[in-house]
Every structure is written in structure tokens, then in C-alpha cells.
Amino acid sequence: MKTTSAVLAATALAGSAYAQANIGSIAQTALSYLSPTCLQTVIQLSSNGSALNTCLDGSLLESIVLGNGSIIAPVGNYLDEFCSSQPCSNETLTNATQTLLSGCASDLTKFGVTNQTIEFVVAQYPLARDVLCLKTTDPFVGNGTSSSNMTSMMNSTSSSNSTNGTFCATSLLTEFQSYLGEDLTISNIATIALGGNQTALDTIKSIPPTALCDECVFGALSLVEEQYPQLGNITLGNYTLNTFLTGTCNATNGTEFTLSTNGTLPTNVTESAVNSTLIPMNFTMPQTNLSIPTQFKMNSSASSTGAVESVLSSVVATASGSAVTAMKKRWIGQQ
């Protein structure tokens, strides 16, 4: 995937300046690479009262990014509001997309980002919302490696941990935090991402594949593969992603895992997004005629990682042209 010099510079600056990453400084550094016009556009789209900020519940998102403690409880509170509110309208997404493309045209060109890439990303909003709003009645509750995860769960005032079920996102984050053995704060996440915490990086590498044996993971993949069925054909050694997951999980767990690729969710997983706008793909349509954005094209000659990236590229490249056109008409305003 193409990485701009600006991102590399921001990463290098942030990594060298902070042993413990300061998210505010990182954001300020990143924003400094934008032109005044583009910066004003970003501020306009994210300002309180804007249609996009309202439907994305931007004020609660801000509390996650600017908070000092574990993100788990704030994420649960955010999803409670986000998933129970009306989705962003076609008009809101269309206007936001056109505003960004217009106000940041020169910046997008400078960083090698095409209009098609922006439109593709925005078109994933319905899928992202449905995945984020998945709930489980069988959440992760701790494996004894850390008490911080349970503290975060109990400190949440969100109904995401009520009889309605727990958001899959908070359940999986709690499990990840338990493996790390320390609070999953924004500062810690940024430090790990910038390579500033080798211990945490080593811990992440040692997480067993069985950590993926979770109905939340299988539910999310079901929704994603309904839209992009070729994702399941990613090769992991001698296995595809789907055969690896089902084989690993069924061989080591007492529960039988079945990966559906038609949007059917596991027994303990439910969808909580109000008025979902996700349009199921029609697999009877010919899966051709969609060009993939340049930024998502991978080098198929690379080895393991390259192989995965190459298949990810083909996932989008082989998606139904007619279905994607219909999606773009609805969400990008190409009427």
C-alpha cells in the first residue's frame, strides 16, 4: 500500500520525540502537512453541528481520542449512541465527500490519493456501521492475565454491557487488553503503532491463533465476506483464511465454529444497528468491471505478506460491478 512521505515524516518525528506517544502532538504534526484550504475543510466537516459530525456522534468520538484511560468503556458508550441513532443519510455522505474532494483537491493529488479512493472508502460506511454494531451474549470476561480489563468493563456506564448483550468491539478489545496486561489507552496504542514499546509488540506476536476463535470474529467476517467473498480465499500457508479459521477453531475448542459467507450471524451474535443501510450483494451478477483504487493495489510478487495483500486487492477487483455501482449511487450520490 502506498505510504506518503508526509506520513513517514510524521511517524519518524513522533517516534523520535516521544518514548510515550503524545496523541495531540502526533495529530498536530499530521495536520501541519495539510494546505490551509484543506485544513479548513477538515475543520468544517468535523465541527460541532455539522451534519457529518452529528451522525457520526463526533463529540463522543473525541472523548475516546482525548481520554487518558482505557478506551474500552468510552468505546462502549460511543457505540451505544452511534448504533441506536439514525445512520448518516445519503445526502450527508454525498455532501461530505464532495466537500472533501473540492477543498482538499491539491492535497489529495500531492499525496497520490485519487477521488475514486475517497469514494470507495466512504462507500464502506454501511458495512463498517453494521460490523461495529454487532453484539454478543457471550463476551470475553478475562483470563486472569490482567485485572485492568474487568475494571474497564465495570467502570462503563454504557448499556452495552447489559442484558441486551455486549458490543463485540468492546469484548474483543477487552481480550486484547488482557493479553497486553496493561490498559489499552490511546497513548499506549500510538506508542505501540510507532514501534516504541517492544515488549508489547513481542506480546502481540505471541498471541495464539486461537484468539480468533470468537463468534464476534466469525460474525464480522460473515458480513464482510457477503460483500467481498474473495476475502475468504486469502492464503495462509497451505490454507485459505476460511479453512484456517474453521480448522484451527474446531480442532482446539469445544464449540463448533461455522463461517457463513452470506451475512448469517453466529448463535450468540446479533446486529444492533438501527435502520441498517447495508445492501447485500447479489452474487448472480457478473463479478467484473470494477477497477480497484490505486492505493489498494498490491505487489503480487511479494511473499507471505505480499500474498495476503495481493488477495486483498483481488477481493475488491472481483466484486460485482453492478452491485458496487448501485452502492455508489446510494452513498456517493452518483444518481
| pLDDT tens-place string over residues 172-218 | 999 999 999 999 999 999 999 888 899 999 999 999 988 999 999 99
Q: How far is Cα 79 from Cα 97, in angstroms, rounded to an integer? A: 23
Q: At what angle do helices 215-227 and 168-180 cross, to 10 degrees?
A: 120
- The whole-model pTM stands at 0.73
Q: Which residues contact 185 (CB under 8 A, 6 or more apart)?
A: 67, 68, 69, 70, 71
Q: How far is Cα 19 from Cα 194, in angstroms, rounded to an integer? A: 10
**pLDDT for the residue 299:** 39
Q: From the CB of residue 118, how many other CB atoms can be counted at a distance below 10 Å?
A: 20
Cell numbers describing residue 234 = 486469502
What are 131-184's pLDDT values in tens digits?
Answer: 999 999 999 987 533 333 334 443 343 444 444 799 999 999 999 999 999 999
- Mean pLDDT for 76-97 is 95
For the chain, the structural domain boundaries read 5-331
More confident residue, 35 or 164: 35
What are 264-294's pLDDT values in tens digits?
Answer: 899 999 999 999 988 866 443 333 333 334 4
Q: β-strands 166-167, 235-236: how paired? A: unpaired
**pLDDT for the residue 21:** 62
DSSP 68: S
- Mean pLDDT for 111-117 is 95
